[in-house]
Structures are given as structure tokens and as C-alpha cells.
A and B are shown apart, each in its own frame.
Chain A
Amino acid sequence: MLQKTIMSGIGGQGILFSGLCLAWGAMLEGHYVTYLPSYGAEMRGGVTSCTIAISDEEIASPVASSPDYLVVMDNESLRRLQNQSASGGEIFINTSIVKDRPVRGDIDLVEIPVNDLAKKTVGEQYANMVMLGAFVSKTHQIKVSSIIDNIEIILGKSKMRFKDKNIEALQVGYDFFAKEM
């Protein structure tokens, strides 16, 4: 089955990295996967997003005109992307920052205060990984262990020192729904 996800936020929030982790996890589980980043000229501050397509067969188009899942880390991303979301799809909202809510009634809302969760635990700069952990536990697109077990490959040598914090943040996000259930 083909599932497409758009993750979007402000440059600097780390949303491209979250998306890349999802893509790595999916690949390591043996799925076909494409990851298409999109960003402006700004190093920080502009809206930046990535599209991840995961499938059990070859992926024709890496672009998502109507994504099954949408992850929004800031208000502008929600404003821009909410109309694109597929009917019956899910929108993951970072409620710590996003104040608006989608006006559409045909999509499921998943609210997670990722910045607050991150601030209380690993540190706010890991909010992106908290979101990814929560996303994976809710959608079951991949196993969270596929990311955690391979975090060294994904991070690469230069970012190895952030390994433990990233794993911790993933766990915080993952447990958010586990506790709820």
C-alpha cells in the first residue's frame, strides 16, 4: 500500500531530519521509499517541508498532491497545507506552537504538545524527534525500533554525539500515546 506523508515546519525546527529518519526506517524495513525535501533560500525561518512516500511497490511520483498524513510544526505550515490533506487523512499538530485548527471536518486531528514535552524532558531542540516518535506510534507506518536500532547510520559520524538525546526524544513521543491507551 502506498502512503504519503508531508512533514512541514519552520527551517531550524528539524522537520527535514524527522522525515529523513522516517524514510531510513522504512527503507531498513524493506519498503520502497522516496523522500523529497522542499525549502526556501533561508537557512532558518522559512517554511520547509518534506514528502515521504512509503510503499510495497515502486513509487511512481515522490510528490504528494493529497497526502494521507500531514505533520505541522508551526501555524504557517498548517495554513498552507491543510487543504491538500486527503479526505479521511490525519493531521498531526504541534499544539505548543500551532494555535489555529483545521477548518475541515473530514480529517482526523492528532494534537501533541511536542515542544512542551521536549522542554520537560530532553530539551526543546529535540521537539522534532518527539513528534516523529508520536507519529510512528500512532500511524504504525514503521516500527520505532527501526529508527532507534539504526540511529548511528542515520546520524552519521559528525552528529554521533546527539545519538542518545535523539533516542530519548523518540521514546518520549512514542510513550505519549502509549500512556494515553
Chain B
Amino acid sequence: MNKRETILMKGADAIGEAAVRAGCSCYFGYPITPQNEIPEYMSRRMDEVGRVFLQGESEIASINMVLGAAAAGVRAMTSSSSPGISLKQEGLSFLAAMELPAVIININRGGPGLGNIAPSQGDYYQATRGGGHGDYRMPVYAPATIQELYDFTMESFDVADIYRTPVMILGDGMMGQLVEPIIVHEREEIDLPPKDYILNGAQERPSRIIKSLILDTREMEEHNWKLKRKYDLMRTLLPRYEEFMTDDAKLVIIAYGTAARIAKGAVKRVRSNGLKVGLFRPITVWPFPDEAVLSLTKKSKVFLVFEMSTGQMVDDVRLAVSGRVDCEFYGRPGGIIPSPQEISRIIERYWMQKEL
């Protein structure tokens, strides 16, 4: 590590700083643990750079302020944790329908209901299946380090603008609180499509309308197919993943976010005992890197999915492998962070059982 460039930063602050440097003009939010450090950071930082920080009267108000800001053509972000993200779902559906760019941070906590404030991965379905109504999809990034939290928050503003879509960063209570060394860098300028849809005063141009009400069924169908073509493009271009020691692996553990870093520790442990085990980590959970998972079935015959939930991503893995390999599951829901030792014991158990 180059010690000059690195600083220690808390996950929540890294999200805020990345947003500021990505040119986020408006932050709207409503407090909820364990992500309160994000609005706290933004309240100070947005003021420093002369931009908008506003604490809405509710989560619903905040997401719709984001929608308004996006319609006006500026970069906007909101953040919350599980119960608050549930409240924002209507806004997400409207953003998707109106094809407006926005960045939404979910610092996942234990649930359902109010649950608790500990780290959890129980919101996977909601994030990847669209917690809002209607036929839409949304890119979802699942960072596993604070550096990734910074990088993907920054990048998600570009992804949102390129595809005119809401983008979610799916973290968890630990990612929000954790302090790690990171390199804070500026955003790389890239060519973005012109914002020819925004409402900035119809002077010397015809008026524009941004709406999601399309009563004509044929027109609505065409809108749905248009969105579908966009989602297909995302499925081709956006999937991202990390493979760790999978080349000769007989068993592959599949995990994302916090669970993946624990799994990586477990893989190192069992490797030191000679077990040929690897890790596959989806970085985008929608679009799911299913082709990469499928190609792993050529080498490895047993997949073990590990999540800090009762099992949600395991569905995507099973869809991807379509019965070609055994797909086992281990989960710790409710806010428990298992140790790498625990996961290595589970790996060893399957290693014995499957006679690898």
C-alpha cells in the first residue's frame, strides 16, 4: 500500500465523499440507524461545497425529492436502511418508469419489520427483484470493502446517467460502520449521453413531459419493451464479479458483500489444509453474473452459497447452474456476523460429505 495516498475512512463517510466527488448536487434523506453517518457527513460536506442537503419529513418525501431533482437534470442521491428502503419503493418504481437517474444507498439491517440495527443481507430479494411494483429492473452493486463502497458509489452515478435508471448500492450495517484504509480519488470524466429529457424551462424548444401514466395499452406495452431492451443491454454490459482461487477448486463458495470477505478468510484457512476450495463473489447482484457462474460448473462440482440471510441469492445461483451441480446453502440471518472459522468448518463438512 502506498501510505501517502491512503487515508482511514468510515464506510458511511466514503459513500458521502464519493457522491460529492461524483458531482452529486442534491442529497435528500431521513435518519435511520445504521446509516445515520451518511446524512451526518452530507449535512456538513454538501454545505462546504455549496450544494443541497435536505432532511425530508419522511423517506417517501426524500425519494420523491430525488425524483424531482433528477427530472430537473442534476445528480441526486438518497440513503436509508431496510425499513426506510421499503418506504422508498414506490419512488423507485416511478424513477424506473420515468427513466430518471438516481443513486439509492441501502445499508441493510436485520429484518423483517423493524428488526434490529445489526448487519444483514435479508434485502437481497427486495433489491434485485424490484421491491416496487411493475415490470422493472435496477442495477445493484454489493461492495465488500470500503474502497469498493467508494468506487461503486462514484461509478453508480455514471451508470444511472448512461442508462437513465435508479442504481442501488447494497451494503449492510457493518459496511456502514467499518473504518478501512482507502484511496480517495477524483471521478474519471467519461462521455455521457446528453440530458435531452430534463425539465429546465421550455425556452426555444418544445415542452417536455416526464410521466409514468400511460393509459393506452399499446403504448404501455411499447414502453415496457423499450425498458426491457435497456435491461437486456445492462445484462450484457454490467455484470461484474471476483474469482478467488477457483482455477483448481472442487468446491466453490459463493457469497457477496460482507459475507464474501468472511468466506474469503474461510477459503484461505481450508486451503492451508490442502482443500481445493475457491470463492466466487458477485459484485453486481443485479444483473447477476450468471454466465460466469455457469462456466464455473465445468471445473467445480459442488457450490456452497453463504449468505447472512435464510437464503435468497441461492435462487439466482440455482437458476444460473440449472441443476448441473449440487448447490448447497449455509446462512446466518438476523444480524449475526459469523467468523471465518465457522464458515471453514461448514466447508470442511461438505468436503467430507461430498467425498471430494
B342, chain A: closest CB distance, angstroms: 9
Residues facing A in B322-343 (CB within 8 A) are: 337, 339-341
Q: A42 at the A/B interface (Cβ < 8 Å)?
A: no
Whether the pair B174, A60 counts as a contact (CB closer than 8 A) is no
- A residues less than 8 Å from B174 (CB atoms): 36, 62-63
Tally of A-B residue pairs with Cβ under 8 A?
A: 59
A60 surroundings in chain B (CB, below 8 A): 261-262, 264-266, 268, 340
On whether A28 and B179 interact (CB within 8 A), knowing A23-B8, A60-B264, A60-B265, the answer reads no
A24 engages B340 (CB within 8 Å): no
Cβ–Cβ < 8 Å partners of A61 in chain B: 261-262, 265, 337, 339-340
Interface residues of B in 302-349 (CB under 8 A from A): 337, 339-341
> Does B178 have its Cβ within 8 Å of any Cβ on chain A?
yes
| Cβ contacts under 8 Å, B265 to chain A | 59-61
B177 and A37 contact, CB distance less than 8 A: yes
The distance from the CB of A30 to the nearest CB of chain B, in whole angstroms, is 6
Nearest-neighbor residue (CB-CB) of A24 within chain B: B8
A contact face: mostly helix, strand, loop, or mixed = mixed
A176 CB-CB contact with B under 8 Å: no
Contact B177 A28 (CB under 8 A): no
Range of interface residues on B (Cβ < 8 Å): 20 to 34
Smallest CB gap from A146: residue in B: B3
Q: A35-B178, A60-B262 are in contact. Are A30 and B3 (CB under 8 A)?
A: yes
A137–B178 CA distance with the chains assembled, in angstroms: 26
A84 within 8 A of B: no
The answer to whether A36 touches B339 (Cβ under 8 A) is no
Interface residues of A in 1-53 (CB under 8 A from B): 20, 23-24, 27-30, 32-38
Is A58 touching B8 in the complex (CB atoms < 8 A)?
no
Q: What is the CB-to-nearest-CB distance from B259 to chain A, in angstroms, rounded to a whole number? A: 10
| A33 and B181 within 8 A (CB) | yes
Q: Is the CB of B3 within 8 A of A28?
A: yes
Question: How far is it, in angstroms, between the C-alpha of A37 and the C-alpha of B9 when the chains are bound?
Answer: 12
Q: List residues of B (150-188) whose CB comes within 8 Å of A's CBs.
A: 174, 177-181
List residues of chain B with CB within 8 A of the CB of A37. 177, 179
Q: Does B6 contact A (CB under 8 A)?
A: yes
Does A145 make an interface contact (CB < 8 A)?
no
Indicate whether A65 sits within 8 Å of B339 (C-beta atoms), given known contacts A34-B179, A36-B174: yes
* Contacting pair B178 A36 (CB below 8 A): yes
By beta carbon, the residue of chain B nearest A39 is B177
Bound Cα distance from A20 to B179, whole angstroms: 9
A34 and B178 form a contact (CB under 8 A): yes
Q: Complex: how many Å from CA A23 to CA B339?
A: 21
Q: What B residues does A65 contact at CB under 8 A?
A: 339, 341
Pick the residue among B3, B266, B337 that contacts A27 (CB under 8 A): B3
Q: B139-153 interface mask toward A, CB cutoff 8 Å, 1 = contact, 0 = none?
A: 000000000000000
Which 4 pairs across A and B sit closest by C-beta, in order of nearness?
A60-B265, A35-B179, A27-B181, A60-B340
Interface residues of A (CB under 8 A from B): 20, 23-24, 27-30, 32-38, 58-63, 65, 153
27 A-B contact pairs sorted by A residue (CB < 8 Å): A20-B8, A23-B8, A27-B3, A27-B6, A29-B3, A32-B1, A33-B181, A34-B178, A35-B178, A35-B179, A35-B180, A36-B174, A36-B178, A36-B179, A58-B261, A58-B264, A60-B261, A60-B266, A60-B340, A61-B261, A61-B339, A62-B178, A62-B180, A63-B337, A63-B339, A65-B339, A65-B341
